[in-house]
Amino acid sequence: MNEHVDDLAELYALGSLEDLDRARVERHTSSCAACAERVSEAEESVTRIAELQTMHEAPPGLRTRLHSSLALAHLRHAWVRSIPAAIAAALVLALIPTWVAVDRTRTVAAMHQDEQALAKIASAPFARAQFMSPRNAPMDAKVLYGMHGDWYYVVVMHPKPGMQVAYVHEGKMEMLGTVATHGASGTLYLPVNHKMEELALVSDGAVIGDAHLAY
Amino acid sequence: MASAGIRPGAAEERTLAQAFARREDWAFDEAYRRYGTLLYSVALNVLHNVQDAEDCVHDALVRVWRNPKTFAADRGSVRAFLTVVVRNDAISRLRASARRGRLAERLGREDEPAEEFEIDDFVQQRKLRAAIEELPQEQRQPVLLAYFGGKTHVEIAKELAEPLGTVKSRISLGLRKLGAALKEGRP
């Protein structure tokens, strides 16, 4: 949009523009001080209306969720440093089978873990964090965790076979377990009594997502 | 989130805007501390669903923070900027929902005519109601349809059977009058 926004300023602030026009206004105001000022005045008017409407307390988990999402900028660099460690850890785990083997025992164990997780979710306060891909796109994966860092429950949709969950700390990764698959979803319950601030999803030795946890 | 820069005890809006534009982490925290309730309320008042409202605020703020070009220090107040960003996001979600046919199911009033928009249905606060009532009818109706109806100016023009340019001008003028009245403590 090369033309000034004129009356579109108020329409923009009111939310009366279609997405395409809205994006054009945003692009134009990023380089036109006069239009930015007019849009800003319109935004003030809309905000004055909004402030006179019913106020609702934001849910306490929202701030935690924002922190988890926005801390990713720091993680990207950590991933680069930790990839060799991740590969090494994955190789070690491949050589030493863990308690999660692909057989009936695993299924029963996974069901038991899910029951434990559901009991925690039902009875204790918990938070959640979204796993994000290295490109900062949200994945169909979350971790629910106790506010005291005493349990973690990772839920992944369409997990890759053998997908693992790792604890990321000071540029190193510690594998915690393998996601158990149930149809289209996968879960892993971790009764770890330790506050972990960063978890990663690892598949074939590569980090494919991570989540930041806040307490 | 790591802290960066000096965090004043009570950052003034201008200081906050400058720090927010520089993407200093404390500015995000401070903006959320100050305006989190307002932003969540704005989203909830549009979407009427707590989970949708939370997702809306989360996604809008993450998008703003990850895109350095969205806010410049001389752009205006962080409060108003974020309010409109969140509100626009909420309206987009509502429209997307309507396109999928869910809005009609939830609200059951998709096809209500413009005449059924009553101020008292939406506005509880006397000051706002009085300011809206001060607007000429020709400006009041499109502003109400835009703000409380979440309609586009094209939809409003069609609904009111008025030329698009006329509707744009009336909405623009109406909002400016409303903003001025609320700023001055009138009517």
> At a CB cut-off of 8 Å and minimum separation 6, what does A82 contact?
A168, A171, A172, A173, A207
- Given an 8 Å threshold on Cβ–Cβ distance, is B54 in contact with A59? yes
Is the confidence at residue A6, as pLDDT, over 90? no
Q: CA nearest B165 in A: which residue?
A: A7
> What whole-number distance in Å separates Cα of residue A84 and Cα of residue A207?
11
Quick check: helix, strand or coil at residue A215?
A: coil
What structural domains and CATH numbers belong to chain A? 8-51 (no CATH), 60-212 (2.60.40)
B148 interfacial to chain A (CB closer than 8 Å): no
* Residue A10 binned pLDDT confidence (cut-offs 50, 70, 90): very high
> What whole-number distance in Å separates Cα of residue A43 and Cα of residue A10?
8
Is the confidence at residue B81, as pLDDT, over 90? yes
> What whole-number distance in Å separates Cα of residue B25 and Cα of residue B19?
8
Quick check: helix, strand or coil at residue A177?
A: strand
Q: Which residues are bridge partners to B106 per DSSP?
A: none
> What whole-number distance in Å separates Cα of residue A136 and Cα of residue B125?
41
Identify the helix (H) or strand (E) that includes residue A8. Answer: helix A8-14
Q: How far is CA B55 from the centre of its chain?
A: 16
| Per-range mean pLDDT, top range of A35-49, A109-123, B22-36, B99-113 | A35-49
Q: Domain extents for chain B? A: 1-108, 112-187
B124 or A56, greater pLDDT: A56
Q: Which CATH number fits domain B112-187: 1.10.10.10, 3.40.605.10, 3.30.56.10, 1.20.1530.20?
A: 1.10.10.10
| Model pTM score | 0.58
> At a CB cut-off of 8 Å and minimum separation 6, what does A109 contact?
A99, A100, A180
Is the confidence at residue B25, as pLDDT, over 60? yes
* Residue A19 binned pLDDT confidence (cut-offs 50, 70, 90): confident
Interface confidence, given as ipTM, is: 0.82
Q: What is the CATH number of domain B1-108?
A: 1.10.1740.10
Q: Evaluate the omega torsion of the peptide bond into residue B187 and state whether it is cis, within 30 degrees of 0.
A: yes
- Given an 8 Å threshold on Cβ–Cβ distance, is A56 in contact with B40? yes
Q: CA nearest B61 in A: which residue?
A: A66
CA of A173, closest CA in chain B: separation in Å?
A: 20
- Burial letters for B90-117: b for 16+ Cβ neighbours within 10 Å, e otherwise? bbbbbbebeeeeebeeeeeeeeeebeee
Of A145, A143, A151, A154, nearest in space to A188 by CA:
A154
For the record, the structure tokens of B107 come out as: 């609200």
Q: How many CB atoms lie within 10 A of CB A125?
A: 11
- Given an 8 Å threshold on Cβ–Cβ distance, is B171 in contact with A62? no
Query: pLDDT by residue (tens digit) across A160-184?
Result: 888 999 988 877 888 888 888 877 7
Q: Give the strand order in the sheet containing A138-146.
A: A172-178, A164-169, A198-203, A206-212, A126-132, A138-146, A152-157, A185-190, A180-182
- C-alpha torsion A90→A94→A97→A100, nearest 10: 60
**A12: which chain B residues are within 8 Å (Cβ-Cβ)?**
84, 88
| Per-range mean pLDDT, top range of A53-67, B65-79, B119-133 | A53-67
Average pLDDT, chain B: 80
B99 or A85, greater pLDDT: B99
